[in-house]
Amino acid sequence: MAESKSLQQAFIDELRDAYDGEKQMVKALPKMAKTAASPELREAFSTHLEETKGQVARLEEVFAAIGEKVRGKHCDGIAGIIEEGKSIMEEDFDDATMDACLIAAGQRAEHYEMAAYGTLVAWARALGQDDAAELLEETLNEEKAADEKLSALAENGINQEAASGDQTEEEPVSPRKASPKGRSVKKRAASR
């Protein structure tokens, strides 16, 4: 009879999942940054893209620290979250509403990652792999900070701008930068 798999094996599986998930995010974040109308939101996604590339490299360090070769295993969870994000980006929302929806999609990804890294840190500690735990905790903290940044952007303007767009729909258009993908700029401009 085959031997049952250990927590060490589950830990490696989760690392592979996280590695694949980060690589999927490296591909998805540029499109989110490009779709964002708010310069601050665009900046937040771009900054997190660079951070995410660092997280891929950091996971490679984790594999090295535990003496495992670097390997990914398809992350269905992040794939699903990215899929939902793509559907949102195909919708015809006004700029501020699109930004609010991009934040919602981004935060789903951050929360998924926070859950994954929270588990990875705890398992690394339980397994006595402190070097791996330290590295994973650095990434966990980056994911938390990225999530908080998105909350701040939503709560300090974007949500309200999206909400007030609903009342000022017929205001005249003021000259503003070209709208990505030809979306209407009037609701956003009207609230300025």
Q: Report if residue 147 touches Fe ion, rule: CB under 5 A.
A: no
- Residue 17 touching Fe ion (CB under 5 A): no
Q: Which residue, 101 or 136, is less far from Fe ion as judged by CB?
A: 136
Q: Is 99 in the site for Zn ion (CB under 5 A)?
A: no
Q: How far apart are CA 127 and CA 11, in angstroms?
A: 9
75 binds Zn ion (CB under 5 A): yes
- Closest C-alpha among 48, 56, 65, 49 to residue 19: 56
Contact between 164 and 69 under an 8 Å Cβ cutoff? The reply is no
* Residues in 26-65 at the binding interface with Fe ion, rule: CB under 5 A: 52, 55
143 sits near Fe ion (criterion: CB under 5 A) = yes
Pick 40 or 171: Cβ nearer Fe ion: 40
Q: Does 28 bind Zn ion (CB under 5 A)?
A: no
Q: Binding to Zn ion by residue 143, rule CB under 5 A?
A: no
The stretch among 17-25, 39-47, 66-74, 85-93 that binds Zn ion (CB under 5 A) is 17-25
Binding partner of residue 77 among Fe ion, Zn ion, none, CB cut-off 5 to 8 Å per kind: Zn ion
Contacts for 84 with CB less than 8 Å, ≥ 6 apart: 105, 108
Helix, strand, coil percentages (3-state) for the chain, rounded to 5, are 75, 0, 25
Binds Zn ion (CB under 5 A): choice among 11, 17, 135, 187: 17
Distant-in-sequence, close-in-space partners of 78: CB < 8 Å, separation ≥ 6: 20, 21, 24, 25, 109, 112, 113
* Nearest-angstrom CA–CA distance, 134 and 155: 32
Q: Say whether residue 113 binds Zn ion (CB under 5 A).
A: no
Give residues in contact with Zn ion (CB under 5 A).
Answer: 17, 75, 77
